[in-house]
Structure 1
Amino acid sequence: MASTTVYLWLSFMIITQIVGEDIRSEEMSVIPDAKFQCANTTCLPFISVITTDIRNCQFACLGQSQCTAATFHRSTSNCELFDNMLNQNGNMLADVDATSMNVISGTRFPPELTTTTTTTSTTKTTSTTTTTTAIQHWAMTGNMSVARYYYTASTLSNGSVLVAGGYNSGLFDSAELYNPSTGTWITTGSMSVPRYVHTATALANGLVLVAGGGSIGGCLNTAELYNPSTGTWTMTGNMSVARYYHTASTLANGLVLVAGGTDDGFSYFNSAELYNPSTTTWTITGSMSIARYIPTASTLSNGLVLVAGGYTGSSYLNSAELYNSSTGTWTTTRSMNVGRSYHTASTLANGLVLVAGGSNGATLNSAELYNPSTGNWTTTGNMNVARSFHSASTLPNGLVLVTGGYASGYLNSTELYDPSTGTWTTTRSMNVARYIQTASKLANGSVLVAGGSNGAALNSAELY
């Protein structure tokens, strides 16, 4: 009986990561020229990403807390990440195009990365040792075709990022798409109406809903839909109220909740309305207790929507309230410790909401946590740099990345919040200082920061 044997040429990789005074290590075994046979469905990869080489495939695995193994295919640069191998090492298939890796201990990928990788490989006839060093950093990627700020960025189901509208010495109706595989932008269909400070919401049907915003001649109540399949926009139902600087939140039932905002900078709204993708119509729902614009809105794990802070035209708010989609009503919850606007709100893996920075006449470095179970806010560690008009992204490892913004000047600094310690750590700075930028999470775990302004509108983009 003929048989095929896969000889395991094992490389043991020890990764030591140093973050300030925090030192962690991880170990992986590497099996060249082999892939997992995957005799059962639990062995299938939970995600596949494109990486430039084996080392970045290893880092992609370490960046996903559930990853226990990976296979890198050289010809396609495809990196398959697995979370449940069930002792599949005995079921290896020979494949000269593939290299497989098992995480032996620890998969946590900490913040600021000074990473030393030592690999020792042995066979019957060879023995090699290599050492490489990689530092987590920002890398410039392709430029947008148009420099813009006060625009929206939406991650599509196909992995592309849609940028639409904005401002730069004039208003834009143009839109463009970022392709993470190529690192390039291409123009797509333009919106029917130029707009800025609008909202964009990715719907369950794959379309993107853009609503409201400022435009030539005043504020808009119009809305339109982008279809990624055709690259075109179509008008949909109008909101009952023209508004910008409002919030938009996707509810568990698929409806989109729009709340608050202003129409001219002098009238401020407490009204809210719902968009139904099935009927393409808007309906009025319960009003907030307080008119506010530039608050944050966060959809909680219990299905409620938390709106916090904002500005009334005369005061910065510390109040917060909850929208219940089952009843269509708002209820006040505990107030934040500090009134703020132009802040960020990030939902953490533990269900808490992290609010950071912003302004209340002075730029803030304070941060606080909302607990949906108790309705209470508690202060947490301060950011190292006070900032407003910044962006915040929850990373696959559970950390929160805060980027850029404005204080006494335009910022390129970035920092990471660790929910397990309640502390912030400064990480590598962006290549370009910017505020009013967007930050989009990509399928491969990277964060795309694009556009914004540093006194002049920017078309540059970079990846963390």
Structure 2
Amino acid sequence: MYLGWTTTGRMYYVREWHIASVLTSGKDFCDRLTSTELYDPSTRMWTTTGHMKYGRQWHAESILRNGKVLAIGRMDDKSHLKSTELYDPSRGTWTTTGDLNIPRNGHTVFLLTNGKVLVTGGIGKGRCLNSSELYDLSSGTWTTAGSMNYPRDYHTASVLKNGKVLVSGGESVFGLLSTTELYDSSTGTWTTTGNMNYARNLHTESVLTNGKMLIIGEDNYEVLNIAELYSLF
């Protein structure tokens, strides 16, 4: 087997700052502005699908337990957005759902083990945010959750094997952050944990099979090739 890169089918629209999610059908879902497309790996072809109601870039997505895709906030051509929308892959259509309490850009989103969606931080109303919100699919509404100890945007979040969410790095009015925090969905509270060795934003997190967290890359001032491991125990 050839372990390399090969070109595949071209999208219908050129894109940047877009988002992609893998659907349960195995197809890859990609969007920017209002247009959306589906990639089928079996045919290597793209097909257009339903348009979102609001144009978006730098937004966030989460695949819900029912297979729908939740698109959240970020920016259109003029401002930060608090609107959210649901994509139904069985129908190829978008419907609006509950608005965020605060418009956000540069936030993170993650599906919790209880089925709710957690949104943290970002930029909203002209300031860096430490607030977080929870989306309940059954009611289609957002409720405020516990606030992080540090305002941050362009940070990263992942769910650990114990169900807690680790948020790391990002940026605030004080510059890049090395701080990390843990969210406990059973109590709705945030607690600080060990600082990273390097301040980072726009980096990635990956939960390894041994339960440790691998943090890679970068910051806005000096791109890093240094990786770090986080262990909960």
Q: Are residues 1:283 and 2:55 paired?
A: no
Quick one: structure 1 residues 396 and 373, their matched pair in 2 at CA, closer, same or farther if it must change by over 3 Å?
A: same
User: What does the per-residue CA deviation read over 1:138-157, in whole Å, with 9 as the maximum and x for residues that have no partner?
Assistant: xxxxxxxxxxxxxxxxxxxx
Where 2:39 maps in the other structure, the secondary structure is strand
Counterpart in the other structure of 1:319? 83
The Cα of 1:454 is off from its aligned counterpart by: 5.2
Counterpart in the other structure of 1:434? 200
Where 1:425 maps in the other structure, the secondary structure is strand
In structure 2, give the amino acid aligned to 1:460. I
Match of 1:310 among 74, 93, 99: 74
* Inter-partner Cα distance in structure 2 for 1:300 and 1:345: 12
Instruction: Identify the range of structure 1 (433-442 vs 319-328) with the bigger mean alpha-carbon deviation.
Output: 433-442
Match of 1:461 among 203, 227, 230: 227
Structure 1 stretches (4+) deviating beyond 6 angstroms? none
Q: Are residues 1:256 and 2:28 paired?
A: yes
In structure 1, give the amino acid aligned to 2:57. Y
TM-score between the two structures when normalised by the length of structure 2: 0.96
* Inter-partner Cα distance in structure 1 for 2:169 and 2:45: 37
Where 1:236 maps in the other structure, the secondary structure is coil
* Inter-partner Cα distance in structure 2 for 1:364 and 1:431: 23
- Note the aligned Cα RMSD (angstroms): 0.9
Q: Are residues 1:235 and 2:7 paired?
A: yes
Match of 2:145 among 353, 373, 380: 380
The Cα of 1:457 is off from its aligned counterpart by: 1.1
Q: Are residues 1:400 and 2:161 paired?
A: no
* Inter-partner Cα distance in structure 2 for 1:231 and 1:339: 43
Quick one: structure 1 residues 286 and 456, their matched pair in 2 at CA, closer, same or farther if it must change by over 3 Å?
A: same
User: What does the per-residue CA deviation read over 1:193-215, in whole Å, with 9 as the maximum and x for residues that have no partner?
Assistant: xxxxxxxxxxxxxxxxxxxxxxx
Where 2:2 maps in the other structure, the secondary structure is coil
TM-score between the two structures when normalised by the length of structure 1: 0.49
Q: Are residues 1:390 and 2:162 paired?
A: no
The Cα of 1:231 is off from its aligned counterpart by: 2.6
In structure 2, give the amino acid aligned to 1:298. S
**What are structure 1's unaligned runs of at least 5 residues?**
1-228, 261-268
User: What does the per-residue CA deviation read over 1:234-271, in whole Å, with 9 as the maximum and x for residues that have no partner?
Assistant: 000001111111110111111111012xxxxxxxx210
Q: Are residues 1:371 and 2:136 paired?
A: yes
Counterpart in the other structure of 1:328? 92
* Inter-partner Cα distance in structure 2 for 1:281 and 1:454: 35
Match of 2:217 among 429, 451, 458: 451
Where 2:106 maps in the other structure, the secondary structure is coil
* Inter-partner Cα distance in structure 1 for 2:79 and 2:220: 27
* Inter-partner Cα distance in structure 2 for 1:454 and 1:257: 28
**What are structure 2's unaligned runs of at least 5 residues?**
none
Where 2:82 maps in the other structure, the secondary structure is coil
Counterpart in the other structure of 1:295? 59
Aligned positions of 1:117-128 closer than 5 A: none
Aligned positions of 1:146-165 closer than 5 A: none
Q: State the number of aligned residues.
A: 228
* Inter-partner Cα distance in structure 1 for 2:200 and 2:29: 29
User: What does the per-residue CA deviation read over 1:104-125, in whole Å, with 9 as the maximum and x for residues that have no partner?
Assistant: xxxxxxxxxxxxxxxxxxxxxx
Counterpart in the other structure of 1:338? 102
* Inter-partner Cα distance in structure 2 for 1:384 and 1:231: 44
Where 2:90 maps in the other structure, the secondary structure is coil
